Amino acid sequence: MDGLNGISGWRWLFIVEGAATGFVAIFGFWLLPNTPLTTRWLNERERELAHSRMEKDKLSDSDENKATAMDGLKQAVRDKRTWLFCLMQNFHLSACSFNSFFPTVVKTLGFNTTVTLLMTCPPFIFAGAAGIFFGWSSGRLHERTWHITTGLGIAVVGFVLASATLNTAARYVACFIFAMGAYSVNSVIIGWASSTLSQTKEKKAVVLAMTNVGGQIGYIYGAYLWPSTDSPRYAIGFGASAGFSLLSICCAWWIRVLLVRENRRIRASTSEQVNLYGY
């Protein structure tokens, strides 16, 4: 399709992928269930089980049970933790801005275009596996902060290594390291925001929307961090990505401190066994 209607092939790639995403989203708006109770592919017992598990995750000290959509917006905006999650996700996805330029980075290894495109696949396959493992482990252990710290810490090592050397083997290994580290924590961050700010389903919906939109903003300015003039080392892009990763880690620990204090307050306010914030 390169040159079709005067449009470059790479532009067509974005157009086709974007159009397909929008098309699926239209149907998804009507097909995806709002709650486990309205899920059509589960039987009644499974729906009740899923619903009860979600209810048990709610904090029992919350006095916010029902709310309108506008109430949910107000609750989310007024909660400072919402903005911290937005910042954390923004810094995280800013660190992932390399994905749009990954073929360009891999091409600095000196291979032809075909081999370069093939070599971009394995790091993302491993990154996908890392994301699944970290999400499973975080949920299993009910732990967030150290998973985020470990994942993004690994990414920092990869970014620094990729920027520090032009050796073919070392740089390709670095591509695996920073891709796996950076993409390992997305589900952890989103899941943490969902469970922490779920006092009402309206608030949780707004928080998830704000966190996702806030994160995607990083791709706007992230595109300017990889100028061709910085080739082949791309110190600006790798350095910025390492910095964003560290800032995301700082946000995670800031949230952890707030939740530790909140848990102490909850324990002091009641002698009953109640749900506490996970961190």
Identify the pLDDT of residue 64.
53
Of the candidates 242, 128, 142, 239, the residue with the CA atom closest to the CA atom of residue 184: 128
pTM attached to this predicted model: 0.85
Within 8 A by CB and 6+ apart from 90, the residues are 214, 215, 217, 218
| Alpha carbon distance 64, 53 (integer Å) | 18
pLDDT at 67 over 80: no
Of the candidates 186, 191, 204, the residue with the CA atom closest to the CA atom of residue 141? 191
Q: pLDDT confidence of 192, banded at 50, 70, 90?
A: very high
* pLDDT tens track for 68-91: 888 888 888 999 999 999 999 999
pLDDT class of 36 with cuts at 50, 70, 90: confident
Give yes or no for residue 50 having a pLDDT over 60.
yes
Tell me if 205 sits within 8 A of 72, measured CB to CB.
yes
191's CB contacts (< 8 A; 6+ apart) are: 135, 138, 139, 144
Tens digit of each residue's pLDDT (9 = 90 or more) over 92-140: 999 998 888 888 888 888 888 778 878 888 999 999 999 999 999 998 8
Evaluate if residue 188 carries a pLDDT over 50. Answer: yes
Domain boundaries, the chain: 64-269
Give the pLDDT score at 119: 86
* C-alpha–C-alpha distance, residues 222 and 124, integer Å: 19
Q: Position 68: which residue type? A: T
Q: Which of 9-18, 120-129, 151-160, 261-270 has the highest mean pLDDT?
A: 151-160
Evaluate if residue 63 carries a pLDDT over 50.
no
Q: Nearest-5° angle of CA 101, CA 193, CA 143?
A: 95
Q: From the options 3.40.30.10, 1.20.1250.20, 1.20.120.330, 1.10.287.110, give the CATH code of 64-269.
A: 1.20.1250.20
Percent of the chain with pLDDT over 90: 41
Q: Can you give the length of the chain in residues?
A: 279
Say whether pLDDT at 12 is over 80: yes
pLDDT for 65: 60
How far is 65 from 255, CA to CA, in rounded Å?
A: 23
Q: Which residue has the higher pLDDT, 248 or 43?
A: 248
* Residue of higher predicted confidence among 161 and 197: 161
